[in-house]
């Protein structure tokens, strides 16, 4: 089985490839080759199968065609300009997220008799407020950002190209990934990970919102699990509705902090500094808080059951089991 990962240099892409290398198999089949693609060179990795690295821009006509010319059996399309950048640079967001996705789908379509499984990472940003208490599988597409619009368009194309038999597409709407490893970034959502990651590493973290803010989380390990399941489950029950809201965990910031206390003690919690930021509070107020991901759960997708578990996964996978 030949696997293509587009967006291989990103956090989720790196973890996905590490998992595929560790397993050596996908859906019961031996992986015989993996192509790791990104606009910057993905890191080298040891794997029991040959890994080919490709660097190009899929929004340049012809590049997507070159990527799929050797007919990978499974394509993970993770590449995207993130929300903040797609809002700041309109042209770049549409070029990569809109044109790039369409070029990829069309490149697959134009190869006669080739119908790969194509896993597309969508986002809960396809939904915009006002929301019901829990957002169901049939809530309508109401993006309030260009990024969310581009992901929603990707979902629609994926469904139409699948219906026409050009590919076997699955769109998965990822929760906010927490605890996100690495350094703090400027994303408005950054604090959800920061208030756990920094205290666990013995550093101060800033909390810009009140503790009653609720949000929808899953660990990086769960995200990789979603991708693997999306690549291998039976898509027949999907019918024409090919995109799924992934399961996750709805917790308040206060519940996150209490979980941190249980896992790492009062000393860790004491490293969280309150610094209310009305701008961030307002952005976050427009975000989804909770989903009813009944459809994905019924199809076998699994997320964490407690925030303690999400923290422990971070400690195991990123900190070698040690907390500061």
Nearer to a copy of itself by Cβ, of 163 and 274: the residue is 163
Q: Least distance to a copy of itself from the beta carbon of 278, Å?
A: 21
Separation between Cα atoms, residue 115 and residue 71, nearest integer Å:
9
Question: In the set 92, 241, 261, 302, which binds a copy of itself (CB under 8 A)?
Answer: 241
* Sole window of 54-62, 134-142, 205-213, 300-308 interacting with a copy of itself (rule: CB under 8 A): 134-142
Separation between Cα atoms, residue 75 and residue 90, nearest integer Å:
27
Q: Which of residues 159-178 bind a copy of itself (CB under 8 A)?
A: 159-160, 163-164
Q: Least distance to a copy of itself from the beta carbon of 113, Å?
A: 16
Binders of a copy of itself: how many residues, by CB under 8 A?
A: 21
Q: Least distance to a copy of itself from the beta carbon of 143, Å?
A: 7
Q: Least distance to a copy of itself from the beta carbon of 146, Å?
A: 5
Q: How far is CA 186 from CA 156, 180, 190, 194, 202, in A?
A: 30, 13, 7, 11, 20
264, two tokens? 């790492």
Neighbours of 148 (CB within 10 A): 23
Question: In the set 66, 144, 187, 297, which binds a copy of itself (CB under 8 A)?
Answer: 144
Separation between Cα atoms, residue 167 and residue 160, nearest integer Å:
10
DSSP secondary structure letter of residue 97: I
Nearer to a copy of itself by Cβ, of 35 and 146: the residue is 146
The C-alpha angle with vertex 315 and arms to 313 and 320, in degrees rounded to 5, equals 115
Q: Does the annotation count 114 as an active-site position?
A: no
Neighbours of 88 (CB within 10 A): 11
Nearer to a copy of itself by Cβ, of 240 and 279: the residue is 240
Q: Which of residues 68-127 bind a copy of itself (CB under 8 A)?
A: 90
With a CB cutoff of 8 Å and minimum separation 6, the contacts of 30 are 1, 24, 49
Question: In the set 128, 169, 199, 288, which binds a copy of itself (CB under 8 A)?
Answer: 128
Q: What is the torsional sign of CA 161, 172, 183, 207?
A: positive
Q: Does 140 bind a copy of itself (CB under 8 A)?
A: yes
Contact 306, 258 (CB under 8 A): no
Q: Which residues bind a copy of itself (CB under 8 A)?
A: 90, 128, 138-144, 146, 149, 152-153, 156-157, 159-160, 163-164, 240-241
Instruction: State the catalytic residues.
Output: 147
């Amino acid at each position: 089985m030949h696997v293509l990962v587009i967006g291989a240099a990103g956090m989720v892409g790196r973890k996905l490839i590490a998992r595929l290398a560790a397993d050596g198999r996908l859906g019961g089949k031996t992986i015989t080759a993996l192509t790791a693609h990104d606009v910057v060179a993905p890191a080298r990795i040891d794997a029991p199968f040959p890994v080919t690295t490709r660097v190009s821009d899929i929004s340049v006509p012809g590049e997507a065609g070159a990527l799929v010319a050797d007919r990978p059996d499974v394509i993970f399309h993770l590449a995207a300009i993130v929300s903040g950048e797609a809002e700041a640079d309109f042209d770049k967001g549409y070029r990569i997220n809109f044109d790039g996705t369409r070029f990829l789908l069309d490149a697959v379509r134009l190869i006669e008799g080739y119908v790969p499984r194509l896993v597309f990472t969508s986002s809960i940003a396809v939904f915009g407020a006002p929301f019901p208490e829990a957002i169901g599988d049939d809530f309508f597409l109401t993006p309030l950002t260009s990024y969310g619009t581009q992901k929603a368009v990707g979902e629609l194309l994926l469904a139409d190209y699948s219906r026409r038999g050009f590919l076997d597409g699955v769109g998965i709407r990822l929760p906010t990934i927490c605890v996100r490893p690495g350094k703090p970034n400027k994303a408005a959502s950054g604090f959800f990970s920061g208030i756990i990651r920094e205290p666990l590493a013995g550093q101060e973290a800033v909390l810009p919102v009140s503790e009653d803010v609720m949000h929808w989380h899953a660990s990086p390990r769960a995200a990789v699990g979603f991708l693997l399941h999306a690549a291998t489950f039976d898509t027949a029950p999907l019918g024409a509705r090919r995109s799924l809201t992934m399961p996750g965990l709805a917790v308040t910031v206060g519940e996150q902090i209490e979980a941190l206390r249980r896992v790492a003690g009062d000393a860790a919690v004491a490293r969280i500094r309150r610094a209310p930021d009305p701008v961030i509070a307002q952005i976050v107020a427009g975000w989804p808080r909770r989903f009813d991901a009944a459809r994905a759960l019924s199809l076998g997708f699994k997320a964490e059951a407690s925030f303690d578990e999400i923290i422990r996964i971070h400690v195991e996978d990123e900190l070698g089991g040690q907390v500061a």
